[in-house]
Chains A and B, each alone.
Chain A
């Protein structure tokens, strides 16, 4: 973990390649809000002071301040148009829809459930194996069908998301029960996980460290405990982790078939 705490009294640490742009819009909007509010507040305070009730002075029946309103409206409209057309929509389109191709990205599947994140890597063959809801039980939370050849090397973890730096990560997000929201504060990623629907989420991390996965959508009594760990590693560390996981899986399979043979 980085020596300084990633979280404080303001925006969390930002480790996403798109993050600086997203945060820049955040600052532009907030400066605009502040300017508008302070302008209003000064005008407001001045009016209250200058036009307070005093003996002998009557209120003006009509005041010609109409142009002030018009200027303000035109200013606000112009600013909002610039904000939408040049910042928000292009950035949104990149962040949410310009998903990297599976060839260039690390592909991961995340299946949310009450109250855990099931994470699956396709394994050496690069293909996700078949799932069958009928096979779901506590030992097989996503109902993976291990009899499918493509499923045999799929690596499953619960609440542990390992990703490399310097390479886009493409996550196929879904939920098996209620709506959750997959939230990685340091990567500026948040996306609802909806049952019956698969959404692609992508990001690219710039630095390593241990962080959190949070759930941002009310999903039941233990919603507040639905957290996971995000481990951002160098590409080399990530590759060796994958390898180790693959070997562990193979060893476990061997053990299982050996036990089966002994049973026989």
Chain B
């Protein structure tokens, strides 16, 4: 596309929709869709978090009636004590909601949609209608998932992994879960194609691939993962739906029984097939969760250390390698299913190999701090916290990836602690960092700094209060998904840990109040800011805050790499990618001094 044509497209977009519905509801604008994704996924995150708060009451004080809420949910919590079945529904839906309705739509749907076109200097996504369809498909999928709680038998209760044959004999909630998944997967596929095409086709003039900000790279790799990993799960979801509704036996072996009685199934299926198909998606999914976070962190660290990101190419290479490798590690979730020794050796080896790029990424960010002039802004605090938290998450993956140590730790709370360190104190911290960082661009106003710091310190403390005890609880050998763990002798001595985790979870919930208030209050009352309040270098800061329909005043042009901070010989400590002259030179006197 020539400059002129691009400008023409931008001009057309300026005459955007005027009516409320077209502008804010069925919008084609990537920024409105991004915000829709953001608000929706934040609501889902809060809902998923509420589910686990209910569940944690039962774990800390098994069998004790829950005050207030226990009396509201009469059928699921008779006498204020939840039934084992409700406990399992809460667990399964917490996992599903947090992963598929919370973190992925926030990291990819919200930030990807809002920031990616701006960072590459595009007026919009390549396929705006497909973009809109992606959001609405996502919303339908989410509502189907939540709606399953209203069924007489309740929501899905076979874990977020939905292992067959348990999930095949489960109640109707599982059917809605599968239908919901089909919608969510379709939404992700629509989004990922759009991201890939937009990144390849719509970059501003001069923005070569190695001038792309790491955030764009992260989103690009994520989109490829989504596009390649999700279809097998969509197929698997349809197969399981057939097993449940049409009497097929894809996942049901011959001679199967249920609750002590022989089941009327033709058989011949294989329960492990589901696990292979599921984890073939769900392991790349981990990187779908983490990569956008890694991208956000890169932007914020470069901006707040005021220096170019160390090892940019190593970083990009690591992300691509991580993405590729993530397709051949899935069976490390299945070490204890009785796979042969060759399979185990293969998946152990690939798992250890994939830990290398993660170490590269983490170390690269740490080294980036060296020699910087670090500003401790609210987004920077969240970004910095990501590093040690992701570090713990990554390191605790090591004993799980080695089959010998996995025997004892498999299916214990150690696993839960491990992946929550990656996703909750890790990824969610990074997503908060992103919200604080791009909020001024989204609304033209800044979020309150003092409330932001309060939100940060309390969240960081209580997140660790929830998840660190989990690792210890797992070392003691306590299994996952137990309605009342205290029946087991080995869970009794460590029961006080459950109380610590639950209390921390409730404090964590209270810590989110300043954020929620700050977010909504700042939309209308925050301090007004200019186009580039953080003095950043990437393209999104060339657009007005908030950017109008079509984004830029004129199609931007890129002259340099993404992180030209503290360039020697330049007066200002940053030179934006869109700056043609490279910044005003330093005063000659100081230059002389430095020469001498």
By a beta-carbon cutoff of 8 Å, the part of chain A in contact with chain B is 5-12, 22, 25-26, 29-30, 32-33, 36-37, 40-41, 43-44, 47-48, 51-54, 57-63, 65-66, 68-69, 72-73, 76-77, 80-81, 83-84, 87-89, 91-93, 95-97, 113-114, 133-134, 136-138, 141, 176-179, 181, 183, 185, 188-192, 194-197, 199, 211-212, 214-225, 227
Within 8 Å CB of B362, what residues of A? 40
16 examples of A-B residue contacts, CB within 8 angstroms: A8-B476, A9-B472, A11-B476, A40-B363, A59-B305, A63-B367, A80-B352, A80-B355, A83-B352, A92-B348, A136-B257, A177-B257, A177-B259, A178-B258, A188-B407, A196-B256
Instruction: Count chain B CB atoms within 10 A of each CB in A176, A190, A212, A222 and give the residue with the most.
Output: A190
Contact of A212 (CB < 8 Å), options: B256, B258, B272, B490: B490
| Set of chain B residues within 8 Å of A7, measured between Cβ atoms | 476-477, 489-490, 492-493
**Interfacial chain B residues near A47, Cβ < 8 Å:** 366, 369-370, 372, 374
Question: Among the listed A53, A178, A190, A216, which residue makes an inter-chain contact with B166, where contact means beta carbons less than 8 Å apart?
Answer: A178
Contact of A83 among B261, B314, B402, B488 (CB under 8 A): B402
Cβ contact of A196, chosen from B271, B356, B408, B490, cutoff 8 A: B271
Q: CB distance A92 to B475 under 8 Å?
A: no
In the bound complex, how far is the Cα of B272 from the Cα of A217, in angstroms? 14
The answer to whether B566 and A223 touch across the interface, beta carbons within 8 angstroms, is no
Distance (whole angstroms) from the CB of B310 to the closest CB of chain A = 7
B407 contacts A194, C-beta separation under 8 Å: no
Tell me if A223 and B402 are in contact (CB < 8 A): no
What residues of chain A lie closer than 8 Å to B568, measured between beta carbons?
61
Q: How many whole Å from B407's CB to the nearest CB in chain A?
A: 5
Given the complex, which residues of B lie within 8 Å of A217, measured CB to CB? 163, 411
The 9 closest A-B pairs by CB, nearest first: A196-B253, A60-B371, A47-B369, A199-B338, A59-B307, A7-B490, A216-B411, A178-B166, A133-B255
| A188 contacts across to B, CB distance below 8 A | 407-408
Q: Please count how many residues in chain B sit with their CB below 8 Å of the partner chain's CB atoms.
A: 100
**Given A195-B253, A224-B482, CB of A92 within 8 Å of CB of B270:** no
The reply to whether the CB of B375 lies closer than 8 angstroms to some CB of chain A is yes
Instruction: Say whether A51 contacts B338, CB under 8 Å.
Output: no
Cβ distance B589 to chain A, nearest Cβ, rounded Å: 15
B311 at interface, CB cutoff 8 A: yes
Contact status of A44 and B388, CB under 8 A, knowing A66-B311, A192-B337:
yes
- Between A62, A92, A218, the greatest number of chain B beta carbons within 10 A of the residue's beta carbon is seen for A218
Question: Hey, which chain B residues are within 8 Å of A41, CB to CB?
Answer: 388
Contact of A225 among B487, B489, B490, B494 (CB under 8 A): B487
Given contacts A66-B311, A216-B411, contact A51 B404 (CB under 8 A): no
Contact of B84 among A77, A92, A222 (CB under 8 A): A222
Q: What 1/0 flags go to B240-268 for Cβ under 8 Å of A?
A: 00000000000001111111111100010
Please give the residue numbers on chain B whose beta carbons come within 8 Å of chain A beta carbons, in ascending order: 84-85, 88, 157-159, 163, 165-166, 169, 253-263, 267, 269-272, 305-308, 310-311, 314, 336-338, 341, 344-345, 348-349, 352, 355-356, 359-360, 362-364, 366-367, 369-376, 384, 387-388, 391-392, 395-396, 398-399, 402-405, 407-408, 410-412, 472, 475-477, 479-485, 487-490, 492-494, 565-568, 573
Q: What residues of B have a CB within 8 angstroms of the CB of A65 in the complex?
A: 310, 367, 370
Nearest-CB distance from A158 to chain B (Å)?
12
- When C-beta atoms are compared, the residue in chain A nearest to B568 turns out to be A61
Q: Please give, as numbers and ranges, the residues of chain A lying within 8 Å of B344 by CB-CB distance.
A: 89, 92, 96
Q: In the bound complex, do residue B372 and residue A59 qualify as a contact, i.e. CB atoms below 8 Å apart?
A: yes
Decide: A192 and B405 in contact? CB cutoff 8 A.
no
Tell me the minimal C-beta distance from B44 to chain A in angstroms: 23
**A12, B158: Cβ atoms under 8 Å?**
no
Q: Which residues of B contact A91 (CB under 8 A)?
A: 404
Once bound together, how far apart are the Cα atoms of A15 and B475, in whole Å?
16
Contacts of A178 in B (CB 8 A): 163, 165-166, 169, 258
